[in-house]
Chains A and B, each alone.
Chain A
């Protein structure tokens, strides 16, 4: 990782989220080697939010502990991708929360889904067709005497 001057590093650590985002946008656009350090600091702040949101939302949605951890890893990777963009990004806590929600909400193979009601009026096409056939004489109702 490219190094700031130690004093400059501490200055970066002391920036608030908005200032840090401004620095990120500047360093990423100028291909500044110090971008990586800024990215690391942003990730440190974002990952704590990712962890909390994934855990809280994943638990509510019935994900297992392992699935929650996978969602956290997924979100960490996606956070890095978003923070690599040149375009301005939202404040890192909001961004991390948005990504965490998306990672938890994706379909999971073992997710237990809430039971769903059937449509109001079931379509009984087969029964309708039988009724028409009986009416038109194409088939006859079963008669125990003739069968």
Chain B
């Protein structure tokens, strides 16, 4: 690389750094850093950058509380991306923004899937909480569950389906010991006695919705 080309590159990166930090100088200041013959090339590069950035937001808009909060939402949703993609963070963000309590979501799901018993509702509440906290696999969520959630949040079901795709390099599922169980090696479960109660059909339905795969 010639000295002139090197100067163009250095001036270009400096301009980008300044732009990123919001401390850009007049274009002429950067052009002065390179030989006269190279100014046209640098000017073109800088023009491309400025064009790609589009019009800058209004000064009050960029610094407003709303702008910061929106970026915080984007950050939170992306940071929480994992085995259920961005779905957990997005659901939580939309629910908070709309003032919807988790219980209200559970109520709607219970109505949609005709879950009336206490155990079934508890299973719904438990699984919805696990979904929002990123503890479920997106690939195991059923389509009808996602459709019902889409109806609650008034969005296209296809958006929730796409959002639930796991991150390419998502963190592994956190290992959370279930209540009353040891996180250590599992003891063999005792065989069921004939008097033991059969699983609640509503609980089974809820488990299928959250863990049974797209067609469940």
- Are A16 and B51 in contact (CB-based, < 8 A)? yes
Contact mask A101-112 → B, CB, 8 Å, 1/0? 000001001000
Does any Cβ of B come within 8 Å of A78's Cβ? Answer: yes
Within 8 A of A (CB), among B84-104: 85-86, 89-90, 93-94, 96-99
Q: Is the interface of B mostly helix, strand, loop or mixed?
A: helix
- Are B168 and A73 in contact (CB-based, < 8 A)? no
Contact mask A80-104 → B, CB, 8 Å, 1/0? 1110111100000100000000000
Q: Which of A40, A74, A79, A93 touches B98 (beta carbons < 8 Å)? A: A74
Does any Cβ of B come within 8 Å of A132's Cβ? Answer: no
Chain A residue numbers with a CB within 8 Å of B89 are 77
Q: Given A40-B78, A73-B96 in contact, is the A32-B168 Cβ separation under 8 Å?
A: yes
CA of A32 to CA of B168, assembled, Å: 7
Q: Which of A45, A72, A77, A87 touches B77 (beta carbons < 8 Å)? A: A77
Contact mask A34-68 → B, CB, 8 Å, 1/0? 01100110011101101110110000000000001
Q: Which residue of B lies closest to A47 (CB)?
A: B70
Does any Cβ of A come within 8 Å of B111's Cβ? Answer: no
Q: Given A36-B78, A73-B70, A80-B90 in contact, is the A51-B64 Cβ separation under 8 Å?
A: yes
- Are B52 and A15 in contact (CB-based, < 8 A)? yes
Q: Which residue of A lies closest to B17 (CB)?
A: A10
Does any Cβ of B come within 8 Å of A134's Cβ? Answer: no
Q: Given A2-B168, A14-B52, A36-B78 in contact, is the A69-B162 Cβ separation under 8 Å?
A: no
- Are B48 and A81 in contact (CB-based, < 8 A)? no
- Are A33 and B67 in contact (CB-based, < 8 A)? no
Q: Given A14-B52, A81-B162 in contact, is the A36-B81 Cβ separation under 8 Å?
A: yes
Interface size class of A (residues with CB under 8 A): 35 or more
Within 8 A of A (CB), among B147-182: 154-155, 158-160, 162-163, 165, 167-169
CA of A47 to CA of B73, assembled, Å: 10
Chain A residue numbers with a CB within 8 Å of B62 are 48
Q: Which of A40, A51, A85 touches B57 (beta carbons < 8 Å)? A: A51
Q: Identify which of A72, A76, A86 gathers the most chain B CB atoms within 10 Å of its CB.
A: A76
Q: Which of A1, A43, A69 touches B66 (beta carbons < 8 Å)? A: A69
Q: Which residue of A lies closest to B19 (CB)?
A: A13
In the assembled complex, the CB of B134 is this many whole angstroms from the nearest CB of chain A, namely 15
In the assembled complex, the CB of B6 is this many whole angstroms from the nearest CB of chain A, namely 15
Does any Cβ of A come within 8 Å of B54's Cβ? Answer: yes
Q: B residues touching A (Cβ–Cβ < 8 Å)?
A: 16, 48-49, 51-52, 54, 57-58, 61-62, 64-67, 69-71, 73-74, 77-78, 81, 85-86, 89-90, 93-94, 96-99, 154-155, 158-160, 162-163, 165, 167-169
Q: A residues touching B (Cβ–Cβ < 8 Å)?
A: 1-2, 10, 13-17, 28, 31-33, 35-36, 39-40, 43-45, 47-48, 50-52, 54-55, 68-82, 84-87, 93, 106, 109
16 residue pairs bridging A and B, Cβ less than 8 Å apart: A2-B168, A33-B167, A33-B169, A48-B57, A48-B61, A51-B61, A68-B66, A76-B93, A77-B93, A78-B155, A80-B90, A81-B155, A84-B86, A84-B163, A85-B158, A109-B99
